[in-house]
Amino acid sequence: MILDDFLVRAALAGVGVAFSAAPLGCFVVWRRMAYFGDATAHAAILGVALSLVLSTSIFAGVLVIAMVMATLVSLLSGRGYAMDTLLGVLAHSALAFGLVAVSFVSGVRIDLMAYLFGDILAVGKSDLVLIWFGVVFVLGLMRWRWSNLLMATLNTDLAYACGIDPRREQLVLNLALAVVVAVAIKVVGVLLIAALLIIPAAAARTFSRTPEVMALLAAVTGALATIGGLQAAYWLDTPTGPTIVSLATILFMSSGFVGLTRRRLSRGMSPPGRGSG
């Protein structure tokens, strides 16, 4: 079967994560929530540790802890702490407790590197099923809540006037991010998940005139970075997760250069203003 090829499984897993991360990455960029994605990813290490201690599914442990983090952030925001302070405390506390808990479990130090930086080449068929289950869930949730999330992102007062609760939409977005973190940990690891969320969306922003186009281009950019990163890692014998993110960064820099060149050309071709005489 075609899924017996580990490179095919890796490509399918990476493309799935790119597709699910694309619309969420757009909201992360629009809402300036980059630190939240990083905080949720760091908290995933605590989920890994608890899964190892309790001998349960890694996916389930990461998903539960990521959702707890998302819920805590939603509940505690606006309660006297600045958002960056709150995220910093929760993220680094969860990461520290997770690393301490892992140290008490024997024989997991090598595996811990895979959770930190990803091990996409080790994705199995069961992992692939879980990843694509999460992809379908996230895309379905985004399709269902897209208009409400956009309204809550653009103008909270207008959202309230339309009967939309921005805090509820924030919670929906946070929970969707938790699912993406859980499915992406095998692909790029907790230290690079935020990069895969932000960089493709930032690269797509240059060429997008509508939110929907930006989400689509972000998905294409993420998929290209994944497939190209897999090939580059195979040829260069480099770590796969960091190579994927490095290629995404190159695509982002290229898009920025193209956008800058296009703006300079448009200014150069604009007709001169009329004189006052």
**What tokens appear for 196 in the block?**
């895969």
User: What is the DSSP annotation of 93-134?
Assistant: HHHHHHHHHHHTSTT-HHHHHHHHH--GGG--HHHHHHHHHH
Q: What CA–CA distance (Å, rounded) separates 21 from 200?
A: 9
Average pLDDT over residues 75-97: 74
**Tens digits of per-residue pLDDT, 184-206?**
887 888 778 888 889 999 999 88
Residues 6+ apart with CB under 8 A from 259: 206, 207
Domain layout of the chain by residue ranges: 2-190
Whole-model pTM: value is: 0.84
Distance CA 240, CA 53 (A): 28
CA 14 to chain centre: 12
Residue 124 confidence (pLDDT) above 70? yes
213 phi, psi to nearest 5 deg: -65, -40
Total count of residues recorded for the chain: 277
Classify 2-190 by CATH class: mainly alpha
Give pLDDT tens digits for 217-275: 999 999 999 999 999 998 998 888 889 999 999 999 999 888 888 777 777 665 655 54
What DSSP line would sit under 30-99, residue for residue?
Answer: HHT-HHHHHHHHHHHHHHHHHHHHHT--HHHHHHHHHHHHHHHHHHHTTSSS-HHHHHHHHHHHHHHHHH
